[in-house]
């Protein structure tokens, strides 16, 4: 009998279907994309040349610079979403010759390993993943499919205070792998497993990843193409918070019991729904739109869980890195005019001590390894983003965990930007460079978001406009660009809602800013394991910057309303523009506060 | 012969040209342009009463050739009361009138003449 968890009630949820491709929609998006870029150039040209407030350049220049940086992101997004090319699904592979050129080697049925990486998760939660992995079906009986639990928590019974993961693995009849240290975190854990196993293909799953039985049937066929290094499937979180009726929230918070009042509340707020995916976890936009469209440029990157890899690809990269490390040392020593014997001695020592590392030891090991594989001009590795959902996972269940997870992604990506920027990486095609740069550029967003959030506040309290005039010319340029941009994004996202994504993009400015400073200082990125259970405590520290900005904005609006009413406001159109802008900011920032104090309605009391 | 391969480049070129044309058209747009174009609502020989919406004309409260007039004009533009087209027209008018006066006439004299 499996242990009951909070997510058991969501077990019957069905995944979304990948949106079918449409050529007409793509052409329409491309037209709108070009038009948006033209309008953006026209707007920025007007902003820089005709709209600067020369009496307040301290205010005017940062705003227009922020708008320019933001526009670069818009252009990169249009490039990313330019076209769709779904990969052709092939029947499952059977023999080694289906995926490799044997060159006189004897042929044999394939070996496939399934890795379930775990660290400190509840062992019974991991059992769910093992049970589902055991249900994987494959049409060929002689293909050897092995399941391995990779336990980086060393829960093999030596420490009685810890749960026993080894026992669970033995009970389920799967292999159990541990190591005596945690070097390289998840990447190190996978490296250790690859050293001990021999599968031609291997699947990476997290402790909470529950694969569907058809996972291998639907993904292994892509490896018929010899250049395919990995296939990533969309990560689907099946435990996202459900939308709640606003009337139910009000009744629950105020503990209303009067029937008439309850009916009135139902009548007034019954149609309004709130708190769907309150933590902004839903990755559909990322997988079904951004990653899927990257197949066009061969730039879809690996996201870890729910992916299947060709062993040869990651191992060839590891060996290449190893050889380059030795070569580099030899060249460095030769440049220092060291004796040949000394060079040989040191390179030999390195040969013995250096390890072969298939996945880069990095906080963002998935994206970093993907960049390295795509940049391998010798093997010309390709990646596939499979559009259909083949597994389900758990999302973060509180804001604290969500922020930690997000900060790790941000720190990891920014670290790559500062150390080994893909834009300047040799071997990547222009399309790949632009797609990777798009991912990294989005983490530089606090540079312009902070200006966008503070500008209306500065205007409200100083009454200094950042533009020369809030006149027809301003609205003509600004509104046409913004409206066209919204149409383009809606078309590009194929109608998938961007509301929550936008809210979290803006309200994550503070955490992205902290990550940016940390990466710029060269601080080592910490690898945080994302918790998979529901916490009890609420951390309100995260929302202090948001509360301060919201308070200042509301205070500024109140002050300006007083000035307007008394006839002392110098520019009413300026107030209107900034107030409208503020509403959008407030709407975005408020999600963090709602998420902090979110508590699902107890339906059992109904 | 199959000419399908021409579809995409053609669409892209048309998209670029159309986008450029529309962007440039928007660039020249000003409130003074509204209601100048043909209307679907009002036919030429209609017997119905015609309703026409016109933008409020600029009220020049100060006599021309006055420094305050120019200042007022700039402030009106800055506050969004007039757009760049109206500003341009007013300045052109100002300069053209100025050109009709003898070159050696001082600003002070011009102002006095206006008064």
pLDDT, one tens digit per residue, over A319-338 is 887 777 777 877 888 888 77
Q: Give percent of chain B above pLDDT 70.
A: 53
Question: Is B31 within 8 Å of A472 when comparing Cβ atoms?
Answer: yes
Confidence label for B71 from pLDDT (cuts 50, 70 and 90):
confident
Q: How far is A472 from chain B (nearest CA, A)?
A: 6
Query: Which residues contact residue B78 at a Cβ distance below 8 angstroms, ignoring those fewer than 6 apart?
Result: A468, A469, A471
The DSSP element (H or E) to which B94 belongs, if any, is helix B84-100
Instruction: Please tell me the predicted confidence (pLDDT) of residue B63.
Output: 47
Would you say residue A181 has pLDDT above 60? yes
Confidence label for B51 from pLDDT (cuts 50, 70 and 90):
very low
Lowest mean pLDDT among A3-7, A147-151, A309-313: A3-7
Instruction: Please tell me the predicted confidence (pLDDT) of residue B62.
Output: 41
Question: Is B79 within 8 Å of A30 when comparing Cβ atoms?
Answer: no
Question: Is B80 within 8 Å of A469 when comparing Cβ atoms?
Answer: yes
Find the mean pLDDT for residues A537-555.
Answer: 88
Whether the Cβ atoms of residue A416 and residue A365 lie closer than 8 Å to each other: no
Q: What is the mean pLDDT of chain A?
A: 88
The DSSP element (H or E) to which A112 belongs, if any, is strand A111-118
Sheet strand arrangement including A236-237: A210-211, A391-393, A236-237
Tell me the chain A residues in contact with residue B11 when contact means C-beta distances shorter than 8 Å.
Answer: 27, 30-31
How are the residues of chain B apportioned to helix, strand and coil, as percentages rounded to the nearest 5? 55, 0, 45
Instruction: Please tell me the predicted confidence (pLDDT) of residue B91.
Output: 85
Find the mean pLDDT for residues A360-369.
Answer: 81
Angle, helices A311-335 vs A340-353, to 10°: value is 150
CATH class name, domain A96-235+283-314+379-386: alpha beta
Instruction: Please tell me the predicted confidence (pLDDT) of residue B48.
Output: 46
Whether the Cβ atoms of residue A129 and residue A205 lie closer than 8 Å to each other: yes
Would you say residue A556 has pLDDT above 60? yes
Tell me the chain A residues in contact with residue B32 when contact means C-beta distances shorter than 8 Å.
Answer: none
User: Burial code of A311-335, b = ≥16 C-beta within 10 A, e = fewer?
Assistant: bbbbebbbeeebeeeeeebbeebee
Whether the Cβ atoms of residue A108 and residue A143 lie closer than 8 Å to each other: no
The backbone torsions φ and ψ at residue A586, rounded to the nearest 5 degrees and listed phi first, read: -65, -40
Which tokens is A150 given? Answer: 């990779």
- Please return the burial class of A287, using the count of CB atoms within 10 Å of its CB with bins 0-12, 13-18 and 19+: buried
Dist. CA A60–CA A466, nearest whole Å: 4
A361: helix, strand or coil: coil
Whether the Cβ atoms of residue A201 and residue A230 lie closer than 8 Å to each other: no
Which range, A363-367, A390-394, B74-78, is most confident?
A: A390-394
Q: Where are the domains of chain A?
A: 18-85+439-605, 96-235+283-314+379-386, 244-271
Would you say residue A422 has pLDDT above 70? yes
Dist. CA A454–CA A600, nearest whole Å: 33
Confidence label for A532 from pLDDT (cuts 50, 70 and 90):
low
Would you say residue A536 has pLDDT above 80? no
Would you say residue B1 has pLDDT above 70? no
The DSSP element (H or E) to which A59 belongs, if any, is helix A57-80
Q: For the segment B15-43, what is each residue's pLDDT rounded down to a tens digit?
A: 999 999 999 988 887 776 665 666 665 55
Would you say residue A311 has pLDDT above 80? yes
DSSP code, position A240: P
Find the mean pLDDT for residues A291-308.
Answer: 94
Handedness of CA A29, A34, A37, A39 (dihedral sign): negative
| Helices first, then strands: H and E counts in chain B | 4, 0
Whether the Cβ atoms of residue A415 and residue A259 lie closer than 8 Å to each other: no
Lowest mean pLDDT among A286-290, A522-526, B72-76: A522-526
Q: For the segment A249-285, what is each residue's pLDDT rounded down to a tens digit?
A: 777 777 777 788 878 878 887 777 777 888 888 899 9
Whether the Cβ atoms of residue A2 and residue A131 lie closer than 8 Å to each other: yes
Largest CA distance in chain A: 94
Name the residue of chain A whose CA is nearest to B18's CA: A35
Tell me the chain B residues in contact with residue A477 when contact means C-beta distances shorter than 8 Å.
Answer: 26
A115: helix, strand or coil: strand
Which tokens is A233 given? Answer: 């499937």
Confidence label for A397 from pLDDT (cuts 50, 70 and 90):
confident
How are the residues of chain A apportioned to helix, strand and coil, as percentages rounded to the nearest 5? 55, 10, 35
Q: Give all strands (DSSP E) within A480-578, no chain letters.
A: none
Confidence label for B113 from pLDDT (cuts 50, 70 and 90):
low
Question: Is B26 within 8 Å of A480 when comparing Cβ atoms?
Answer: yes
Nearest to A136 by CA among A20, A197, A251, A219: A219
Dist. CA A385–CA A235, nearest whole Å: 11
Please give the torsion angle defined by the CA atoms of residues A473, A459, A455 and A504, in that order, rounded to the nearest 10 degrees.
Answer: -100
Would you say residue B99 has pLDDT above 90? no
Nearest to A287 by CA among A303, A305, A304, A310: A303
Dist. CA A331–CA A343, nearest whole Å: 9
Query: Which residues contact residue A424 at a Cβ distance below 8 angstroms, ignoring those fewer than 6 apart?
Result: none
Instruction: Please tell me the predicted confidence (pLDDT) of residue A100.
Output: 92
The backbone torsions φ and ψ at residue A336, rounded to the nearest 5 degrees and listed phi first, read: -85, 10
**Which residue in the set B12, B78, B83 is minimally distant from A472, CB to CB?**
B83
Would you say residue B60 has pLDDT above 70? no
Dist. CA A125–CA A7, nearest whole Å: 10
- Please return the burial class of A144, using the count of CB atoms within 10 Å of its CB with bins 0-12, 13-18 and 19+: middle
Dist. CA B19–CA A484, nearest whole Å: 11
Would you say residue A390 has pLDDT above 90? yes
More confident residue, A327 or A83: A83
Q: Which residues pair with A354 in a beta bridge?
A: none
Instruction: Please tell me the predicted confidence (pLDDT) of residue B7.
Output: 83
The DSSP string of A127-141 is HHHHHHHHT---S-T
Dist. CA A120–CA A140, nearest whole Å: 35
Confidence label for B11 from pLDDT (cuts 50, 70 and 90):
confident
Dist. CA A569–CA A546, nearest whole Å: 27
Which tokens is B6 given? Answer: 């021409």
Q: How far is B107 from chain A (nearest CA, A)?
A: 27
Alpha helices (H) in A336-398, listed in sequence order: 340-353, 365-374
Question: Is A35 within 8 Å of B78 when comparing Cβ atoms?
Answer: no
Tell me the chain A residues in contact with residue B12 when contact means C-beta distances shorter than 8 Å.
Answer: 30, 34
B87 touches A: beta carbon within 8 Å: no
Question: Is B23 within 8 Å of A38 when comparing Cβ atoms?
Answer: yes
Whether the Cβ atoms of residue A45 and residue A71 lie closer than 8 Å to each other: no
A107: helix, strand or coil: coil
Name the residue of chain A whose CA is nearest to B80's CA: A471
Instruction: Please tell me the predicted confidence (pLDDT) of residue A343.
Output: 77
B15 touches A: beta carbon within 8 Å: yes
Query: Which residues contact residue B106 at a Cβ distance below 8 angstroms, ignoring those fewer than 6 apart?
Result: none
Query: Which residues contact residue A388 at a Cβ distance below 8 angstroms, ignoring those fewer than 6 apart?
Result: A17, A18, A218, A233, A234
Dist. CA A424–CA A418, nearest whole Å: 11
Strands A382-385 and A228-232 turn out to be parallel
Question: Is A469 within 8 Å of B27 when comparing Cβ atoms?
Answer: no
Instruction: Please tell me the predicted confidence (pLDDT) of residue A110.
Output: 95
Would you say residue B56 has pLDDT above 70? no
Q: How far is A357 from chain B (nearest CA, A)?
A: 44
Q: For the segment A102-156, what is each residue's pLDDT rounded down to a tens digit?
A: 888 899 999 999 999 999 899 999 999 999 999 999 999 999 999 999 999 889 8
DSSP code, position A95: B
Q: How many residues does chain A have?
A: 606
Question: Is B15 within 8 Å of A31 when comparing Cβ atoms?
Answer: yes
* Chain B interface disruption, residue of A24, A37, A38, A572, most B CBs within 10 A: A38
**Which residue in the set B19, B31, B83 is minimally distant from A34, CB to CB?**
B19
Handedness of CA A54, A57, A59, A63 (dihedral sign): positive
Instruction: Please tell me the predicted confidence (pLDDT) of residue A539.
Output: 76
B83 touches A: beta carbon within 8 Å: yes
Would you say residue B104 has pLDDT above 60? no
Confidence label for A73 from pLDDT (cuts 50, 70 and 90):
very high
Dist. CA A546–CA A543, nearest whole Å: 5
Instruction: Please tell me the predicted confidence (pLDDT) of residue A139.
Output: 94
Instruction: Please tell me the predicted confidence (pLDDT) of residue A326.
Output: 77
Whether the Cβ atoms of residue A452 and residue A403 lie closer than 8 Å to each other: no
More confident residue, A471 or A177: A177
* Chain B interface disruption, residue of A53, A83, A473, most B CBs within 10 A: A473
Lowest mean pLDDT among A206-215, A232-241, A398-407, B34-43: B34-43
Find the mean pLDDT for residues A563-576.
Answer: 87
> How wide is the angle at C-alpha A541 spanned by C-alphas A540 and A545, nearest 5°?
110
Whether the Cβ atoms of residue A535 and residue A400 lie closer than 8 Å to each other: yes
């Amino acid at each position: 009998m499996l242990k009951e968890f909070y997510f058991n009630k969501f077990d019957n949820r069905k995944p979304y279907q990948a949106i079918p491709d449409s050529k007409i929609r793509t052409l329409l998006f491309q037209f709108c994309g070009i038009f948006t870029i033209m309008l953006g150039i026209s707007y920025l040209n007007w902003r820089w040349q005709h709209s600067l407030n020369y009496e307040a350049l301290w205010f005017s220049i940062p705003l227009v610079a922020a708008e320019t940086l933001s526009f670069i992101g818009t252009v990169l997004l249009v490039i990313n979403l330019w076209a769709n090319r779904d990969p052709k699904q092939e029947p499952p592979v059977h023999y080694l010759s289906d995926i490799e050129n044997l060159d006189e080697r004897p042929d044999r049925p394939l070996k496939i390993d399934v890795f379930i990486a775990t660290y400190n998760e509840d062992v019974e939660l991991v059992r769910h993943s093992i049970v589902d992995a055991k249900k994987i079906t494959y049409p060929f009986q002689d293909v050897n499919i092995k399941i391995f639990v990779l336990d980086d928590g060393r829960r093999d019974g030596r420490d009685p205070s810890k749960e026993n993961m080894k026992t669970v693995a033995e009970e389920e009849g799967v292999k159990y792998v541990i190591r005596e240290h945690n070097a390289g975190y998840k990447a190190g854990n996978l490296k250790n497993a690859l050293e001990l196993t021999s599968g031609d293909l291997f699947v990476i799953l997290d402790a909470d990843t529950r694969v569907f039985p058809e996972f291998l049937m639907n993904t292994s066929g892509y490896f018929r193409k010899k250049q395919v290094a990995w296939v990533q499937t969309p990560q689907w979180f099946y435990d996202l918070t459900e939308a709640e009726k606003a009337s139910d929230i009000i009744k629950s918070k105020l503990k209303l019991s009067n029937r008439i009042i309850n009916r009135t509340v139902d009548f007034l707020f019954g149609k309004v729904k709130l708190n769907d995916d309150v933590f902004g976890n839903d990755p559909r936009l990322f997988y079904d739109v951004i990653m899927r469209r990257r197949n066009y440029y061969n730039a879809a990157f690996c996201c870890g869980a729910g992916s299947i890899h060709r062993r040869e690809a990651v191992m060839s990269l590891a060996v290449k890195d190893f050889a380059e490390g030795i070569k580099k040392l030899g060249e460095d020593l030769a440049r220092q005019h060291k004796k040949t014997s000394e060079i040989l001695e040191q390179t030999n020592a390195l040969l013995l001590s250096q390890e072969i590392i298939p996945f880069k030891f990095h906080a963002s090991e998935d994206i970093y390894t993907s960049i390295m594989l795509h940049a391998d001009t010798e093997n010309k590795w390709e990646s596939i983003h499979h559009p259909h959902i083949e597994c389900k996972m758990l999302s973060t269940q509180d804001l604290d965990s969500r922020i930690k997870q997000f900060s790790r992604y941000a720190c990891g990506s920014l670290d790559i930007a500062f150390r080994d920027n893909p834009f300047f990486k040799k071997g990547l095609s222009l399309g790949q460079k632009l797609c990777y740069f798009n991912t990294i550029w989005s983490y530089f967003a606090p540079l312009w978001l902070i200006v966008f959030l503070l500008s209306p506040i500065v205007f409200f309290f100083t009454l200094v406009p950042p533009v020369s005039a809030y006149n027809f010319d301003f609205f003509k340029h600004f509104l046409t660009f913004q409206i066209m941009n919204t149409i383009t994004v809606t078309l590009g996202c194929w109608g998938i809602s961007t509301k929550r994504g936008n809210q979290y993009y803006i309200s994550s400015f503070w955490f992205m800013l902290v990550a940016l400073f940390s990466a710029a200082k060269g601080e080592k990125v910490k690898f945080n394991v994302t918790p998979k259970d529901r916490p009890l405590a609420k951390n309100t520290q995260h929302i202090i910057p948001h509360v301060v900005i919201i308070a200042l904005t509301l205070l500024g609006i109140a002050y300006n309303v007083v000035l307007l009413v008394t006839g002392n406001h110098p520019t009413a159109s300026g107030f209107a523009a900034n107030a409208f802008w503020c509403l959008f900011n407030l709407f975005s920032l408020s999600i963090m506060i709602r998420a902090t104090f979110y508590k699902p309605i107890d339906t059992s009391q109904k | 012969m199959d000419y399908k391969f021409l579809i995409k480049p053609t669409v892209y070129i048309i998209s670029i040209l159309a986008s450029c044309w529309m962007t440039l058209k928007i660039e020249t747009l000003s409130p003074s342009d509204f209601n100048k174009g043909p209307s679907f609502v009002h036919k030429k020989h209609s017997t119905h009463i015609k309703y026409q919406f016109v933008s409020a004309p600029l009220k020049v409260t100060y006599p021309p050739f006055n420094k305050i007039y120019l200042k007022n004009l700039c402030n009106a533009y800055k506050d969004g009361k007039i757009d760049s087209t109206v500003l341009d027209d007013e300045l052109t008018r100002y300069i053209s009138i100025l050109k009709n006066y003898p070159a050696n006439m001082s600003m002070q004299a011009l102002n006095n003449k206006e008064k």
